[in-house]
Structure 1
Amino acid sequence: MKNKVTTIYKQAERFAEITNKAIISGNISRAKRLLNIAENLLKTGNNETKNVISTIYVYSVSSFMELRHCSVSNLFPQSLKAEYIKQINTSGV
């Protein structure tokens, strides 16, 4: 049986893991495609989807990138970058 993902939160975590693996492996074109998919979900999804992308996905990917000293600004599309900036400003960093 395949690794079954059951909730939207688990799906967002898995989606972030896949994005992070693309970044680790140096497959930046794939990482950008995945980030663009997340961007599209953030723009067109229902409220729950938008919330999960902004809280779980953006947090997971941006935290990973910061730990690896990757530039979030260069990879994140506009809406994801705005969510990332909101998170930074909210946290008081």
Structure 2
Amino acid sequence: MKNQAKSACAKAVQFAEITKNLIRKGNILRVKKCLSVAEQLLATGNTETKNVISNIYVFSVSTFMEMHNCSIANLFPQSLRKEYIAQVNASGV
């Protein structure tokens, strides 16, 4: 079980890095595809998958987008945007 959680976390980190690299390159169509895949995982995944997507992927990508002044509202699908807003509200920012 511990190895599976580590693997899921590592995969979420890698997926976030891929998405951030695509943002750097300006490949918005592929960024939207990645965000769509993350949205689907958030909607249909098991509890572990949902936690990894919201706590690792959304946090990493949204932090990167904020630092680079990307418009989150335009890119994030609805469920990912809700996760982002929940994180911002929880942090007290």
How far does residue 24 in structure 1 lie from its aligned partner after superposition? 0.6
How far does residue 77 in structure 1 lie from its aligned partner after superposition? 0.2
Q: Which amino acid aligns with 1:72?
A: I
3-state secondary structure, aligned to 1:7: helix
TM-score (norm 1): 0.93
For structure 1, the residue ranges without an aligned partner over 5 or more in a row are 1-5
3-state secondary structure, aligned to 2:69: coil
Q: CA RMSD in A?
A: 0.7
Q: Equivalences for 1:71-86 in 2 at 5 Å?
A: 71-86=71-86
The number of residue pairs the alignment matches comes to 88
Match of 1:54 in 2: 54
For structure 2, the residue ranges without an aligned partner over 5 or more in a row are 1-5
More helix by percentage:
2
How far does residue 42 in structure 1 lie from its aligned partner after superposition? 0.1
Q: Which amino acid aligns with 1:10?
A: A
How far does residue 85 in structure 1 lie from its aligned partner after superposition? 0.2
Question: Residue by residue, what CA displacement relative to the aligned partner does 1:10-50 show, whole Å, maximum 9, x if unpaired?
Answer: 10000000000111100000000000000000000000000
Determine the C-alpha separation between the residues in 1 that align with 2:68 and 2:33: 20
Match of 2:39 in 1: 39
TM-score (norm 2): 0.93
Match of 1:12 in 2: 12
| Structure 1 outlier segments of 4+, above 4 Å | none
Percent of aligned pairs sharing the same letter: 60
